[in-house]
Copies of this chain bind each other. A is one copy, B any other.
Amino acid sequence: MTEPISVPVLPWRAATAKDVAERAGVARPTVSAVLNGAKSGTSVSSATRERILEAARELGYRPNLAARSTRSGKSRQIGLLIRNFSRSDATRLMAHPLSYEIVCGVSDGLEDAGYLMCLMRLGDLQQALESQNALQGHLFDGVVVVSDVHRGVIEGLEKLVRHQIWVDGNVWNAHGCVRRDEEFAARLCAQKVAEMGYKRWFALFHATSPHYSSPQRMAGLEAVARECGAQIVPVALRHAGSAEMAPLLDELQPDDAVIATTFYSAQTLQNALVLHDKRPPRDFALVCCDDGFHREGSAWQELSRVSFDRYQMGFTAAQMMVEQLENGTTPPSQLLRGEWQSGRTAKHRI
């Protein structure tokens, strides 16, 4: 684990199909046929088959994927395009850490079908479409796009790559899209708060650069509030700091609920509690329309929330991409639902 590095690398040449063919005493195409699982009409006697497999093993033959792509016109590589903040803003180089669950789901789903996922983080998608890169270079059989994108980008992408799947963003067609049912999540959350007997709801939402889901969640909350006669107080957050929470915390009464529309706003509120003596569920209720890293043991299990499996969303998107590539038909869009986790930050009044 600690020996010196840098063994001089010999200009060693990897074995090719030609080498295998020569060693086995057959022609090159026969090698292809055997190694790629013999097609009908190209059956090979089991004797030569064995010879070829043995020669390949002895030479450590590994087919060159780039050459295969060149010939077949298919790379079995899928680009994952994920929106990112501009690189010029050094404090926000992460686009939504929770996206990592989507990334992982997409990666695993593609891997299961023998595809490789290439991550492209795009601060400026428009610019990425124009500059020379993998997208331009016919490298991807398809592209999975995560998060909101502008119309120009959508059109540009459709020219650059034949197959697309849209995940968790503003694109919503009858086919080829995956989304979470945002309004359902908000309604579910609001119903639980209503059932527990809270009358006044402070709804935390992000006022800057809102995701498409933000208005949908607010709409869900408002619909339920109308139905059950609760009062909604919108609380617009502009910065991510806990300082913004101080006035809210001062105002909260035991009959009040804070409904965080995003996981981050719930976390920010919790962090702000260091400076206050109030805490849920004793002094107010805290519920959230979302949870954090759903699949991870370190999730915030105590939070009363609607949980949602982003990994599954990514996995579903990958499966849709594979179906599209292999059947040639774009599968119907899917709207995924979360479920309520009662947690411990809210409790029944009375």
Chain A contact residues, CB within 8 Å of chain B = 1-6, 9, 14, 62-70, 75, 77, 84, 87, 90-94, 97, 99-101, 103-105, 107-108, 111, 114, 116-121, 133-134, 136-139, 151, 162, 170-176, 239-242, 264, 267-268, 270-275, 279-281, 293, 295-298, 300-303, 311, 329-330, 344-345
Contacts and interface: CB of A to CB of B under 8 A. Distances in A.
A270 B270 contact: yes
17 contacts: A1-B151, A1-B170, A6-B175, A6-B330, A66-B138, A70-B70, A77-B118, A90-B295, A91-B297, A92-B296, A97-B97, A100-B100, A116-B133, A116-B139, A264-B298, A274-B344, A275-B344
Contact of A4 (B174, B275, B281, B293): B174
Contact of A271 (B175, B275, B295, B302): B302
A162 B274 contact: no
B295 A139 contact: no
Contact of A172 (B1, B117, B137): B1
A62 B132 CA distance: 8
B121 A119 contact: no
- Which of A116, A264, A311: most chain B CB closer than 10 A? A116
Nearest to A300: B271
A1 B155 CA distance: 11
Q: 8 tightest CB-CB pairs across the interface, nearest first?
A: A65-B137, A240-B297, A66-B69, A100-B100, A264-B298, A94-B296, A93-B295, A62-B136
Most chain B beta-carbon contacts within 10 A, residue among A139, A293, A345: A139
Contacts of A275: 302, 344
Nearest to A176: B5
B240 A298 contact: yes
Contact of A302 (B151, B239, B242): B242
A67 B64 contact: no
A66 B62 contact: no
B138 A64 contact: yes
B311 A94 contact: yes
A135 B62 CA distance: 10
Contacts of A298: 97, 240, 264, 267-268
Contact of A92 (B90, B107, B108, B295): B295
Given A97-B298, A293-B94, A280 B271 contact: no
A176 B300 CA distance: 37
Nearest to A65: B137
Given A93-B108, A94-B311, A330-B6, A66 B116 contact: no
B107 A119 contact: yes
B103 A119 contact: yes
Contacts of A303: 271
Given A2-B173, A92-B295, A274-B302, 10 more contacts: A4-B173, A66-B75, A77-B118, A92-B296, A92-B297, A94-B311, A107-B121, A114-B133, A264-B298, A274-B344
A200 B295 CA distance: 35
Contacts of A239: 297
A272 B274 CA distance: 14
Nearest to A101: B94
Nearest to A76: B134
B64 A137 contact: yes
Nearest to A72: B66
